[in-house]
Each structure stands twice: as structure tokens, then as C-alpha cells.
Amino acid sequence: MLDELISTYNRTNYDFRNYAFPGDKLSDLFNEWIDYYRMKYAIAKMIRPTSILEIGVRYGYSAITFLKASENATYLGIDNDSETFGENKGEGNWAKRITQNYKAEFLLANSQSMTTLPGDFYDLIHIDDHQDGDGIFHDLKLALEKSKWILVDGYFKSDEHLLSATYFLNKYKDFIEFAVTIPSYAGELLIKTKSSAKHMFVDGLSKENSNLEDIIDSYKRYKGREFEDSRLISISCLANPNKDMNILEVGCGRGEISYTLSKSGAHVTGIDDSSSAIKTAKAKYLANTSMKNLEFIQDNFLNHKFNKKYDRIIATDLIERVPKDKLELVILKIAELLKEDGLFITYIYPNKLYYQYTYEEKRKIAKSIGLYIPENPRTFYEDLRHINEQTPQSLFLNLNKYFSHILTWVNDSQDLAGSLTHSFSSEEYNNARTILAVSSFEDLDRDRIVQLLSPRKLDRNGVNIEALSEKDSINTFSNKKFKLHITLKNNGKERLVSLPPCPVNISYHWLKTDGTYEVFDGLRTEILPALNPNEQRDLQVDIVAPQEHGEYKLQIDLVQEGCFWLQGITNKPLLNISAKVEQNPDECRSEESKVNTFEIKDDEINVEEIMEKIRENIRERKEKDDPKNIEEVEHVFSEASSNVRCPQESEVINSDYDIRNDNYSISSHRPFFGTFLIKGRKLVHGEIRRYVDPVFQKQSQLNYNLAGVLSDAKETADSCSNKVEKLKLEIEQLEDENKLLKSKVEQLSSETEKLKSEVVDSIKKEVESIVSTVNLDLENKAWLNRVLESKIQKGLGNQETDTSGKANTQTNAPGKTNAQINSSGRTNAQNNSFGKANAQNNSSGKANTQITASGNTNTQVTASGNTNTQVTASGNTDPQLNYYVFEERFRGSRENILQHHKNFIGYFENCTNVLDIGCGRGEFLELAKQQNINARGIDVDEDMINFCKSKGLNVELKDAIKALEEIKDKSLDGIFISQVVEHLNPRYLVNMLNLCNKKMKYGFYIILETVNPLSLFSFANFYVDLSHVKPVHPETLKFLVSTAGFRDIETKFSSPIPPDMKLKKLPNLEDTDQNKSMIEISNQNIDMINEALYGAQDYAIIGKK
């Protein structure tokens, strides 16, 4: 292939300059680009594409090059016609012009916003280099499943380009047949994809094979029979199994954990829905053993019916693979299967915080020094299967729905206890890659769990170990590795486990007959899972025999690394076995072979010279023209082969078989008897030849025909093999086409069902919306009637004297007192209708005065009898405004607000204690209730509170500061404040934000939405609401939230003005370039005016503790 490419490149005289744009600003580089485009031409000639797609067309130089090389090909060019990465707008017009005589089409679009490329499949996809590393990676991913060949420009253009494409090759190597780098102008990368890449992202892709991905190194090294990975070891230690336990592993995969736990004697069940994974597990662990305490089940966990409950349930690499809508069902079933005193142990990898924060910081650092790491570092397996990655907080919230006691922590491979033993900073939390959790229905002993993961040094007085073996003597060969079966009993008080920092292992010594050590430190055999007190276990101890043969003593002993050998305490080994070590036969043969052989150095052999002599010998024999008895030879066994062969072939085949020695010399040195001896010898020689020659002749013919038969058989076999390969290729192509057709049929069926469902749902929703609107309107009117009736009754009651004889007086004259005293003689403290709480008098009886947003003065007096006065700015009495009716008129319907709040509800997913400050009509609370989010609201307007209670919502009539002060510190996992801050004075707002931070848990969100003063439209309508104090600039509110201690703050603008309310642009005119320029300038100015006049009406500040 490469020879063809180089040959085409050398032969062609293609010159792209014949099609170059005259005004190209880079024309000074054209001479350097000639060979660059010649190589593209040669590549297209070699590939012979019938369909081409190009991402990044520019002036179309690559497009015309490909089409010149493959004139019958169809071409689709994608370009966003932007000025990014050195491009100029309008370049595509030249591309259209030079390709107008070909089957070329162009699409104005940005490939970075695409999730799939248009069209079905292409022979060649070309990716231009005018983009950053993330852009190249994205386009390569799109091209992989759509193309047979991919050509990437600028592979050597920069480190970012080089690393981006290389990361891609590594991630998707299983779908790439090969890749070739071509060091042209800026480097070309030519990728040949596998046919399997066509369906790599199809739903349900090889679920069986995905479960068999080699994601655990220890499995590849030890075929699953050894347990090395420290993260999985931590699961084993947490389970702390014994023979009386029943253990269930959900999503057991190939069964490594199940097998290891079963070695403790516990009855272990592994379940997985992958038939391939279960088949592998059974083959590895059950095929050649009689293990009765280990079983594997191939079934869907949610569908399987279990007949018992379990002491331990294990889930590793499971939670992150369960869809969000199924996760709650999985955890619920696990809770149902767990005993009251049981433990649910789960392991999560990766920690989502690592990708959100730590990895993003690494990307910034890499970019700052000119390097590149991909936006998504996950493997293809993780992309495909990790659909629900977790943070420690989200895992806790998911488990907390069904378990009352939970411990979650993060760790690394060196420190298994991690954040259990010391407090982690936010940076350490983000850096940790692993999350573990233990859940139960009963109290958890934190110290015990830490001890299980970080065992201490053993108390020597508490160690009492006994070992048994069926053998008291063994025979083996020198330097041979073997296993010794022993039974280990723990009769002491200490727990034995091979975990850092002081792992306990089994080892051995080899002693000579004179008592000296031949080997002191033997191989280590780990004890996993832990061997608890009063337990025993069968183990296979790894041993290597000494290199020297002879008589030895094999001593089996226990060692706690860095602390002591058990023999140092008891003065005797666990086992003392006599051993006879013989010379290894393989080593003997090796020694003998050394005696009868000698080393031939490479420089003593001239292979080329030897081969030339062989070829010369063959040529000489072929050139001989003296075949003997050709006709007779051709006649013998001629039926053995139907192919006609030339006579010379026979001589060549039998050249090494000619032992007749026609040049045999018969002579004698004796003068007298010599003549008779010569005649006698000739006579005997002739008689022998008379009988032997025919035999030799027939044997030669047999050799010849046999060679012919073998040659024909080889040709037939080669022909069959070629046909088989051809058939296999055709079958593979048919299978691909069938899969593609099946996929399309399924897609069409799915789209039909989806469309049908959407139409039905749309009609249903529309009808429900109409009915709901009517019902809501009726409910609101009924509620308003009840409120008005209640107030009328209340007003009538105020005019009468109560039964205790206390007066309730109200004076309406301008400037006079408006007092209201209850039956106990104490003054009622009322809230004004705009959400501001009236201040109360102190114990001295002096009046506190508060000016409302409308300029009114509210005065309240304590029980000393002072008056409560409310006077307008003009001196007249201020009637109370019904704020519910006001919101219905000016803020909008509840349906619109509900739809608007959906922009924020996702920030509170899985939260269990959310506070809505200023809940109003309860739209956010209603939405939270629909999403199963536990939320409650507070408001200072009694009408709003009554309305929310009529909806069954959890609300209280409270001031924000007072409510926050009553809440326990670090107990809230979300705060929502919508259209409130514009009602507050600055001091109150700052105080409220500080309290919010104090009451929230770490890692959760606060959202404050308010009117956007940057939009003049919103600003002009700001004072429609009489209770508005002042608008708050987005940067001001962002600063206040940050000062209060929140992080990762973002500003989110919402409620855009409808387009039909904005200024209209001038239409484009197909006139002179000057006119077009003026129109563009005018439209840009209109955009700026629109942004100022008609920007987003609202904005929200979102912070995270």
C-alpha cells in the first residue's frame, strides 16, 4: 500500500496552485504547499474514494485535490464560515466555484455542535487543522463510525494537535486497523478504521464483551485466581467474611471478589446479567473444583427472585453503571435483601469530583505550558458504561433514602481508610479517585471499620497459630516453583490479614543439613480475606526450591513485615518438612547440550553467499539437457497427476536422489591379476546395475509424481483458501449491511413509536393543560372569595366590643392614630403586604419606626399600651394591599413560573432539606414535590402562606433572618431565593447571605434569582411593584455571595424578551460591497441596542458551598 502511495506521489505532477484563490493572504507559502497537496492527491488515488466528507473547507484546495484524483466521487464540505483560527469569512464561495463541475455540496454548520455527521458512510473523511485540540478530538470521534479512511491535517503542527490525535488513537485503538504518519508540510495522519467502528455507539453494543473488558490488571496477570488490586482488597476486608455468613455480590462480573470471599468458608452468590461474564467465572472457579459455597447466577438483578436474606451485599463498579431511573429500584431491592444487622458495601470509581475540578485544573496547567490533555479522559469502556457517576454527597443521598446509618469516604490505593481517619480538605476530596460506602439499618462502629482497613501491629502475646499439612516429606527438583497445601488455624486473639502498613504473610526457610540457611526469605503468600480468631482456612503456599540439589529442611513460618517472624516468638516454625531436592532434568540436558555444541557468531555466517550458491546449483541442474529414459519415466505413475510438466522438472526433483554413480572408476594396481580383477568387477558391477537401475528409475518417477501431487494439492488448497477468504469477506460485508439495515429498521420503528407517543402526549398534555388552567382559575377565585369573606367578617367583628370588655378602636381621620388591641390588652405586630416585617418595641415601651418601600411609616408599641400607627406619606391611612392578587396580575400565571423554575430544579436533585425563602405562591415547592425533593418554604405574607397550605405544601409564616437563626448549622443541602433580594435593604441582604452559608452543608447550591437591571426594559418596569426597594446589579450580588463564603459562582440570565418585541434588523441587499458593509454595521448597532433595551429580564446567581 505504501509503495503504491509513494509511487503515485513520485509520478504525479499535480499542482494545486492552478485552483488557488488570487487574493489568498498566504500565497507566499504556496511553493511550500505544492508537495503537501501532491501527497493528498496521491492518498486519494490510492484510496479511490467514491464518497468524501471534509470538515473545514476554507478555499477548497483539499476539496479540488480529492475530486481531481477521484473525479466520480461525491463530496460534502462542512464549514462554519467564521473568522476563528485564522480563517476569513466568505472563503467557501471560492470552494464552490472551483468544484462546480463536480458532484460537490456544501453545508454551512459548526461540526463542534454536531452529535453525528450528516449522511450514512464515507470512504474518506478529511479533517482540517484549523481548530484546537478539543475540536480535533471531537471531529475524529464523529468520523470514526462514519468513515473507512480518516485523513487528519496538521498532525505535527503543534504539540496540542499531536497529543490530541494521539490520545484519540489510544482511546479508540480497538476500532482502528492501523494508522500511518506522513511527514509532509505539517504532517498527515492517515487512519484505516475497522468495520466494527460502524456500530461502536449503537445502543446495546456488545454488552457481553463490555463486561469482559480487561479493566482489572490482576485478572490478566493471574487469570482471576490471585487477588491483588488494593481497591478490591478493601472491599474484601470490609466484608470480613466467616463461614457462617451468606454474601451476595451484585454485578459480580468475572467473579474475582466472590471467589476470594468464598475462601473464608462463607456461602457466596454472585449475580450478573452478562452470560459471557458468568461463563468465564464458572470456568475459572467452578470447573475443576468442588466448591459448594460458591455459586454464580446469570440473570437481571431486579427481576431475579431470591429465597433468603444476606449478611453482606457487595457492589463494585455497579452504581455508576445503573441508569438514574433504575438506581433507586436497585438500592431498594438491596435494602430488602439485607438482614437487619447486615452491611451493604459499595465501591465507586471514579469520584466525579475529580473530573469536575482536579482534572479541569490539570487541563488548564497543560494548556498554559503548550501541552494538551483531552476534555474527557475516560476510556471508551467508561464512556459506554459509566452513565451515572457519583460524588460522595450524591452517593450518600441515594443511600440515605433506604438506610438509616451510612459511612462514606474517599481514599487512594495507598491509604484505604482515607478520609475516615482524618479530615480531608476540599482539594483532597477532589483529588481522591475512589469512593467507598458502608450502609446499615443499625449503628456503625467507625473505629472498627478503620481497624478493618488499617490493621495495627500484632500483640505478640495474642498470636497463636497452628499449621497442618498432609506431607511430612517432599521430593522436588532444583529451582522448581511449586505449591504446598496447608491448613492454617488461628487459635489466638489477633486478626491476620495481608494489609499495609504491617501485612501478615506466610513464608518459608530452606535449611541445609548442617543447620545453616540456604534460603531465609522465601516467597510471600498473602492472607486474604482476613483470618479471624478461631477460624481456619486451607491455603496454597508458593515455594521455590533451592538451586543446589541435596537434603534440606523446609520450614513454613508466619511473618508480620517489618515486625517479627513467628519462629522468633515460639522458637519453632509452623511446619518442619524434610525435603530431597534433585538435579533438575532440564538443567542436566542443558549442560549436556553445552558439551556437544559450539557457538556460531553472527559475523562468521554469510547468509547471502550461501543462498547464492544454492540458487546457482539449481540453475545448473535445470540447464542440463541429458534426461535419462524420459519417455519411460513419464509413463510410470502418470495418472498420479493430471498436470503436464516439462522433463526438466523431473531432474530437478531427483537431483539429490541420483546415487547410481555412473562415473564409478574400476581399476587395479596389480599388474598380472589386475586385468582379470577389472573384468570381474565390471561384470559384477553390470549385473548389479541391471537389477538396481530399474528400481532407482521407478523410485525417481515416484518422487517426481509425488512432488506433482503435493504441488497440485498446494495449489488447490491455496485456491480454496483464497475462495474461503473471499467468501468470509463477502459474508462480513453482508453481515455489516444486515446490521446496518436492522439498525435502520429499529431506528425507524423507534422513531415511529416515539412520534406516535409524542403526538398522543402532546394532545393529552394540551387537554390536561386546558383543564388544569380552568380548574386552577376556579380554585383561585374560590380561594379569593373565602379570603374576602373572612376579611369582611373580621372587619365587622372589629366594630364590636369583645366579651372581656376591651375596646378595639380605629380612627380614620387624616393623621390620626390607627390602633388595634386584642383581648389581652397587648398590641398585635403585623407584617406589611410587601413582605417587610414591622419592627417591635423594646422592653422600655419606646416605639420603633420603620419606613416601608412605599414611604409609609409603621409604628408598633409594646404591651405598655402605646399605639400602632401606620400613616402614608400624605398623612392618610394606608389600606392593606392583597399581594396574592397583585402577583396574579403582574408576575404571571403559576404555570409560567413553574416552567421557569425548571431551569433551577436540577441543582437540587436528590436533596433532602431545601429551603425556599420567599416562597410566594409555592411554584418552586410544587415543582420540588414532583421531583421527590424534600423542600419547605417561608414567607412573610399570610395570604401567600394560606394559599400554599391549601395546595398541601410545607410552608411557614416567618421572616428569613428569624427562620435561618432557628435552623441547625450545616443542615441545609439547598437554598432557593427567587424575586426576593430586590425587596431587601443591603444590611438585611448581607446578614441573610452570611446565615445561609452558615446553615448549608458543604458542596450544595444556593440560587438567588432577581430582576436584571442591565435590561432597560426590566429596569423601566421595576417600580410597578411598590414593595421593591432597589435593583441589585449582577456583579454586586455575585460579590456579596462570594463574600459570604460561597464558591464556583456563576451568573445565569433568564426570561429573554420575545423576539417580536425587539427592534427589527434591516434586510440584506444584494447590492454593492459598500452597501453590504453599511447594512452589517447597522445590524451590529441594532444588536447592541437590543442588548441594552431588551436584555434578559431576570438573572440568577448560583453558588456552591
pLDDT at 423: 84
Max mean pLDDT among 366-380, 655-669, 882-896 falls in 366-380
* H or E element in which residue 647 lies: helix 647-654
pLDDT at 802: 44
Checking if the pLDDT of 380 tops 70, the result is: yes
CA distance 399 to 401: 5
Report CA 137 to chain centroid distance, whole Å.
16
Percent of the chain with pLDDT over 90: 39
The stretch 82-106 carries a mean pLDDT of: 83
Taking the CA of residue 713 as centre, how many other CA atoms within 13 Å lie in the half-sphere pointing to its CB? 7
At CA 173, angle to CA 172 and CA 174, rounded to 5? 90
Q: Three-state DSSP class for 398?
A: helix
Nearest to 166 by CA among 143, 186, 140: 140
Burial of 245 (0-12, 13-18, 19+ CB in 10 A): buried
Checking if the pLDDT of 816 tops 80, the result is: no
CA distance 123 to 50: 6
Residue 940 Cα distances to 738, 830, 848, 929, angstroms: 67, 10, 19, 22
pLDDT at 632: 44
pLDDT at 1064: 59
Return the C-alpha cell found at 478.
532444583
**Confidence bin at 45 (pLDDT 50/70/90):** very high
CA distance 745 to 751: 10
- All CATH 3.40.50.150 domain ranges in the chain, comma separated: 2-202, 222-453, 890-1074+1090-1104
Return the C-alpha cell found at 219.
485478572
Phi (first) and psi of residue 581, to 5 degrees? -105, 120
Q: Three-state DSSP class for 936?
A: strand
> Chain-wide mean pLDDT for the chain?
79
**Region 890-1074+1090-1104: CATH code:** 3.40.50.150
> Which residue matches cell numbers 556460531?
600
pLDDT at 610: 61
The stretch 370-376 carries a mean pLDDT of: 85
Instruction: Answer whether 645's CB lies under 8 Å from 712's CB.
Output: no
Q: What is the DSSP string of 293-356?
A: SEEEEES-TTT---SS-EEEEEEES-GGGS-HHHHHHHHHHHHHHEEEEEEEEEEESSBHHIII
* H or E element in which residue 171 lies: helix 159-171
Find all residues with CB under 8 Å of 746, minimum gap 6, and list them.
none
54 residue type, one letter: E
Checking if the pLDDT of 392 tops 60, the result is: yes
CA distance 99 to 92: 11
- What are the residues facing 126 on neighbouring strands? 54, 151
For 278-291, what is each residue's pLDDT tens digit?
999 999 888 867 78
CA distance 494 to 534: 10
**Region 2-202: CATH code:** 3.40.50.150
For 165-204, what is each residue's pLDDT tens digit?
999 999 999 899 999 998 878 889 999 999 888 766 553 3
**Confidence bin at 666 (pLDDT 50/70/90):** low
* H or E element in which residue 579 lies: strand 575-582
For 550-575, what is each residue's pLDDT tens digit?
999 999 999 999 899 999 889 999 99
Phi (first) and psi of residue 958, to 5 degrees? -150, 150
Return the C-alpha cell found at 795.
372587619
692 residue type, one letter: V
Return the C-alpha cell found at 655.
537431483
Instruction: Answer whether 95's CB lies under 8 Å from 107's CB.
Output: no
The architecture in CATH of the region 222-453 reads 3-Layer(aba) Sandwich (3.40)
Q: Could you give the strand order of the β-sheet that contains 848-851, starting from the edge strand earlier in sequence?
A: 848-851, 857-860, 869-871
pLDDT at 303: 94
Q: Of residues 1029 and 1071, which shows the higher confidence score?
A: 1029
pLDDT at 854: 36
- All CATH 2.60.40.10 domain ranges in the chain, comma separated: 460-593
Q: Three-state DSSP class for 489?
A: strand
CA distance 152 to 340: 60
CATH class for the domain made up of 460-593: mainly beta
pTM here?
A: 0.49
For 618-652, what is each residue's pLDDT tens digit?
666 656 544 444 444 444 444 444 444 555 555 55
Return the C-alpha cell found at 960.
428569613
pLDDT at 700: 75
CA distance 953 to 718: 81
